[in-house]
Chains A and B, each alone.
Chain A
Amino acid sequence: MTLIGRGLALLGLILSPSAYAEWQVNLMPGVTEISRAVYDLHMTIFWICVAIGVVVFGIMLYSIINHRKSRGAKAHNFHENTLVEIIWTIVPFFILIGMAVPATATLIKMYDKGEAELDIQVTGFQWKWRYHYLGEDIDFFSSLSTPREQIANESEKGEHYLLEVDNPLVIPVGKKVRLLLTSNDVIHSWWVPGLAVKKDAIPGFINEAWTVVTEPGIYRGQCAELCGKDHGFMPIVVDVRSEEDYKLWLAEMKQAKAQASDAATQDWTLADLMEKGEEVYNRTCAACHQVTGEGIPGAFPALKNNPIMVAEPSAHIDVVLNGKAGTAMQAFRDQLDAVELAAVITYERNAWGNNSGDLVTPAQISKLKQ
């Protein structure tokens, strides 16, 4: 039957390593002790199901072939057998216990919350992740870096299409890392298959997950809980590095931060701010307000021809810095640095024919941010 053919094809695919790349059909064993335990569990249950299936479907197929009227089969008239019925209630029960034992053991291992060597707060936002390294002065956002043209089929798609970000989460290899998950708006779910970690990020609550990755490398995942329009466009990239490389990265991050605050004290021309502002706007705001500034009626307001853009700037600055509670408009105070905020506000006030001529300076914003 077609079913058996398909089963064999499936088997062939699982067993041949070359098929792994494109026609991947199975879970990946992953790179943590937990992920390998989950993989083994998955395979165990899978084979048990296959075995039960072979027996049940086998008997059914046998009857279909042999007990058909066209072959002259006469119907017997048994329709009850207490012993058989008791057996096929009890036997599955024991099979289930056989599955429950390893499942419980794995679950208990996952829930073993010992002290971690590094704590990272992970916050979901519509549609990006924020990683705050507790105890280190490191706090950044991580969003999709696949160019828009690739998504719109205007240019060739890259190797890691939709699974690449501007700032990956960097963690050291072999160390226990604890993730404290929460959300700024709706529920998201932080999932990296290679680590077998999937935990919901829920507004107002903190969830805990942990991982110890045993091999350096780059592991990719995605948000797994429907979180609105761009749910499909908020990937996760974890860059696992050796202890030294991780230390190096920490130092670089701190240096970059110092440079950014220097830039805030410089003088910026309108042209420079507009150029920077366009880049920030398209990266950060356009998902909702659209590249054209026209928004999406009924969901996200238009900024083009919006009276707020030509009125006195303080109201505009206030919305962007502090957001609007209870709406999708987030507070950008901590998401963007002073230069980026000044640039994006200046850009909005002068783009799409808003032409207010206003220039909002980074220095102005720095003062408000304190």
Chain B
Amino acid sequence: MGTLEQTVETEEHHGPARGITRWLYTTNHKDIGTMYLWFSLIMFLLGGCMALSIRAELFQPGLQLMAPNFFNQMTTMHGLIMVFGAVMPAFVGLANWMVPLMIGAPDMALPRMNNWSFWILPFAFSMMVSTLFMEGGAPNFGWTFYAPLSTTYAPPSVTFFIFAVHMMGISSIMGAINIIATILNLRAPGMTMMKLPLFVWTWLITAFLLIAVMPVLAGVVTMMLMDIHFGTSFFNAAGGGDPVLFQHVFWFFGHPEVYIMILPAFGIVSQIIPTFARKKLFGYASMVYATASIAFLSFIVWAHHMFTVGMPLAGELFFMFSTMLIAVPTGVKVFNWVATMFRGSMTFETPMLFALAFVVLFTIGGFSGLMLAIAPADFQYHDTYFVVAHFHYVLVPGAVFSIMAGVYYWLPKWTGNMYHEGMGKLHFWLSFIGVNITFFPMHFVGLAGMPRRIPDYALQFADFNAVASVGAFIFGLSQLLLVYNVIQCIRVKRHTTAQVWEGAEGLEWTVPSPAPYHTFAQPPLVK
């Protein structure tokens, strides 16, 4: 009798604290994952509003809604918020929730640091968004912030931007260390490396990329800070510096960064397709090797963003060939996904729909990426809407669709309730149609000669721009359905089982739904 009471007491002790302190002080991977995901959703909506303001201005030729300087602030903030505020935190949130559940760990390896890496983010982004209200306005030099536009010619708020980037970098590095430590140390007995679910593998590799390149980003913004306030001339030609050096350092961070935004997406899709095809992932080992090769190659392709800066011929050729090589492991991934579906027994619930759209639309983004790798052709594509189309195909129906797929896939596990399938499908179809109407025509205007980052354009681009703007509003507004679906799923009791999906495999499906506050206090045995 006595022992029973004691257990009940300790159990209660281990439940979540009440009120705001639960969230402020929490070291629980599920709470922190949840906070990351909500944060990312808010940033996605904020960055989305900025995108819609850009598209509204570009609906017709002429300046209607905003002055060019504000337009530049919108593109810059949109890019920064989407990359650092929406996509990256969403993946970290998913990792927080799912990595321990997938490897049979009780929590992340460094729970206090976990709390800290999340709570830095709201401060970093408040600082960055507050620049919109400063004299001279927010950063207006593009998310790539090329010097000297971002140093000598920048608005005073650039200093706040630099500190915000530093804070995001610290947050990312801590998050990455935590993920690596968790995966390497807290795997359940029997969970060997080559049994890890692919989401875990891709995140492990992503975490190494993060640790490798976030310090480079910190370095480049520190050099800017020095140039702006302490009289150095890293990027100032008049003082003996080199503006092109900025681009080399930035893209040495920047290219791996784009893989940071896509490798976990590969992982998610590699979890979902086998579940709904009811068939094991084809070529597991080659998926792991392909991910690792992509990560390696991502360090030696950076100057493909700089084909027009005037590199010597040998440089152009090297970066052209190395970039083209990335197509090989990427192709392997796509073929493996298709082979997984082949002769499976497929059903098409919302997560699967998003995953299938991912495979097709990401591949289209990959094709335009291959075209951009061809240096002589890139002279025509570079800095046009063709590039905007390319990276939105890999980021929106790529990274963002994978996140949505993951959310619908794991939401029943998180909440214990099934989301509304019909509403989920509606959200999918509106997003799918919206995304293509928005971004497909951007290929056309780009090829026809429309540069990116311009608030107004020549008349021959008018028709497709109007189409793209209509699509953007369809896509943007349909994201309200995502918000609705998530809240519905939390509030409406539509109880689901531990297994949730008929074809799902993995440790996360062995714990009850909703996953209890503490899981795997006793490590499971993996055979």
Contacts and interface: CB of A to CB of B under 8 A. Distances in A.
Contacts of A3: 360
A367 interface: no
A253 interface: no
Interface string B129-148: 00000111100111000101
B178 interface: no
A226 B341 contact: no
A299 B244 contact: no
Contacts of B348: 68
A232 B456 CA distance: 7
Interface stretch (B30-38, B63-71, B99-107, B482-490): B63-71
Contacts of A189: 308, 383
Interface in B47-63: 61-63
Interface-central residue, B324, B360, B458, B463, by most chain A CB under 10 Å: B458
B501 to A, nearest CB: 12
A111 B315 CA distance: 12
Contact of A185 (B153, B321, B443): B153
Contact of A96 (B61, B140, B327): B327
Q: Chain A contact residues (Cβ within 8 angstroms of B): what range? A: 35 or more
Contacts of B341: 60, 63-64, 67
A257 interface: no
B313 A157 contact: no
Contacts of B345: 67-69, 73-75
B58 to A, nearest CB: 10
Contact of A49 (B237, B371, B379): B371
B346 A67 contact: yes
Contact of B284 (A42, A73, A79, A151): A79
B404 interface: no
Interface string B290-327: 00000000000000000011100100110011001101
Contacts of B316: 107, 111
Contact of A111 (B308, B313, B327): B313
A103 B377 contact: yes
A258 to B, nearest CB: 35
B479 to A, nearest CB: 20
Contacts of B186: none
Contacts of A108: 313
Contacts of A89: 328, 331-332
Given A74-B345, A79-B280, A104-B317, A193 B380 contact: yes
Interface string B375-400: 11101101110000000000000000
B342 A63 contact: yes
Contact of B382 (A60, A198, A207): A198
A258 B156 CA distance: 44
A232 B317 contact: no
A205 B317 CA distance: 22
A152 B63 CA distance: 6
A37 B340 CA distance: 40
A191 B308 CA distance: 10
A107 B447 contact: no
A298 B135 contact: yes
Contact of A79 (B61, B279, B335, B371): B279
Contacts of A310: none
Contacts of B384: 224
A328 B151 CA distance: 12
Contact of B376 (A24, A81, A103): A103
B144 to A, nearest CB: 8
A259 interface: no
B125 interface: no
A352 interface: no
A100 B324 contact: yes
A76 B341 CA distance: 10
B343 A76 contact: yes
A24 B460 contact: yes
Interface-central residue, B64, B236, B283, by most chain A CB under 10 Å: B283
A98 B456 CA distance: 39
Nearest to A70: B347
B447 A26 contact: yes
Interface in A198-245: 198-200, 202-205, 207-208, 221-233
A53 B62 contact: no
Nearest to B141: A226
A294 B382 CA distance: 36
Interface in A37-54: 37-38, 41-42, 45-46, 49, 52-53
B278 interface: yes
A151 B459 CA distance: 12
Given A25-B444, A100-B324, A193-B449, A68 B436 contact: no
Given A162-B456, A226-B72, A326-B152, A204 B451 contact: no
A56 B363 contact: yes
A309 interface: no
Given A23-B464, A68-B345, A111-B313, A99 B69 contact: no
Contacts of A298: 134-137, 155-156
6 contacts: A23-B464, A59-B338, A79-B283, A150-B62, A163-B458, A297-B135
Given A151-B456, A325-B238, 4 more contacts: A63-B344, A68-B347, A200-B310, A203-B237
Interface of A: 2-3, 6, 21-28, 37-38, 41-42, 45-46, 49, 52-53, 56-57, 59-60, 63-64, 67-70, 73-81, 84-85, 88-89, 92-93, 96, 99-100, 103-104, 106-108, 110-111, 126, 150-153, 157, 159-163, 185-187, 189, 191, 193, 196-200, 202-205, 207-208, 221-233, 296-299, 325-328
Interface of B: 61-64, 67-69, 72, 134-137, 140-142, 146, 148-149, 152-153, 155-156, 236-238, 242-244, 277-286, 308-310, 313, 316-317, 320-321, 324-325, 327-328, 331-332, 334-335, 338-348, 356, 359-360, 363-364, 367, 370-371, 374-377, 379-380, 382-384, 433, 436, 440, 443-444, 447-449, 451, 453-460, 462-464
